[in-house]
Amino acid sequence: MRSSKEVVTMNATFLDACNKKEPAHTPVWFMRQAGRYLPSYRALKANRSILDIAKDPNLASQVVVDAVDALDVDAGIMFADIMLPLEGMGVEFKIEENVGPIVTNPIRTLDDVNSLKELDLEGGIGYVFDGIDATLRKLDGRVPLIGFSGAPFTLAGYLIEGRPSRDLEKTKQMMYREPETWNSLMGTLTKMIVAYLSRQVSHGVEAVQLFDSWVGCLSPSDYERYVSQYTKTIMGSLDSGVPKIHFCANSASLLESFIGTGPDVLSVDWRVPISEAWERSENRTGIQGNLDPALALAGGERMRGEVGTIVEQSRGRRGHIFSLGHGVLRETPPENLRDVVKMVHDATRSRA
């Protein structure tokens, strides 16, 4: 184990933005930047599953560094999946290509919740931290490494539905009708997430992102009633020196609720104009986003036009991290992402 203080990160732009200092240029990174759109990743994937890669610290670290090198981004994100710590709690699942996580025995009752084991950080999930160590060695201080976890609602959604779901009907049924089971599950997940993220930080990740990908399906009042307390606990339990990013797709109606849970940076998607996100955040958080991944896929003038708009609407604001509103799409030409990085860097470089 090593502390984040041992290596001085050479490219400080991402952390400067997280900390609302003026960066040398607006930092850029992309969700799923280590993924199938990259030929080097596809070559590794040819005879391996995503879990084979994530569980091998040498391969996991390589795909992080390959993406940083290929794109010239200002941060790396550790290679794992939000489902991995659940395996350490005794949940059996597979990640099906083009579908997502499939859980063998979904969690539906209080007994099911009680059967979840406490996450064993030393045993089952140790490879994640070995992967962080290996990644930091290979990055050698070039850019900071972001750690992450799924958020309680999104993990509960996969556990209860058993597979990706648009409406999360079963999840909402448990939430509305079985408050004891719901609170027990959310509490168990919250405790696990705090331990998991804290251990990532102690291994040297310099920021963490909480992925609440699917919580945009709730109304603001239900979010407040059933979810926000857990997010608040997570945000409040982590070392205050490590910036915390909150991510949710499709979340235009919930921005203020998310800000109320205490993140340093709010990651928003393209459905909200970034100028509106800045207004609504009232300088309480930085903003990460928010190019539509479909524009990154399309490239050309429409993409460049929108990159310009996002940069202009964020000019003079402290805490902008340029990113996509959701993950990189599989057919995206890497050169489009390189274009985005260069455009943002050139347009925001301080002329000191």
Pick the closer one to ligand CP3 by CB: 43 or 99: 99
The phi and psi torsions of 95 (rounded to 5 degrees) equal -110, 110
- Least distance from ligand CP3 to the Cβ atom of residue 318, Å: 25
- Least distance from ligand CP3 to the Cβ atom of residue 111, Å: 26
Distance from C-alpha of 159 to C-alpha of 105, rounded to nearest angstrom: 8
Please identify the residue of the shown chain whose CB is closest to the bound ligand CP3: 213
- Least distance from ligand CP3 to the Cβ atom of residue 68, Å: 10
Pick the closer one to ligand CP3 by CB: 98 or 350: 98
Tokens standing for residue 326: 């959701």
- Least distance from ligand CP3 to the Cβ atom of residue 321, Å: 14
> Taking a C-beta distance cutoff of 8 angstroms, is the pair 147, 200 a contact?
yes
DSSP secondary structure letters along 102-161? EESS---SHHHHHTPPPP-TTTTTHHHHHHHHHHHHHHTTSS-EEEEEE-HHHHHHHHHH
The Cα angle at residue 55 between residues 53 and 58, in degrees rounded to 5:
70
Pick the closer one to ligand CP3 by CB: 66 or 317: 66
- Least distance from ligand CP3 to the Cβ atom of residue 41, Å: 7
Pick the closer one to ligand CP3 by CB: 162 or 313: 162
Identify the three-state secondary structure at position 85.
helix
What is the rounded radius of gyration, in angstroms, for the C-alpha atoms of the chain? 19
**Binding residues vs ligand CP3 (CB under 6 A):** 31-36, 45, 50, 77, 79, 81-82, 95, 97-101, 148, 164, 211, 213, 327
Pick the closer one to ligand CP3 by CB: 149 or 188: 149
- Least distance from ligand CP3 to the Cβ atom of residue 82, Å: 4
Pick the closer one to ligand CP3 by CB: 98 or 221: 98
> Taking a C-beta distance cutoff of 8 angstroms, is the pair 60, 79 a contact?
yes
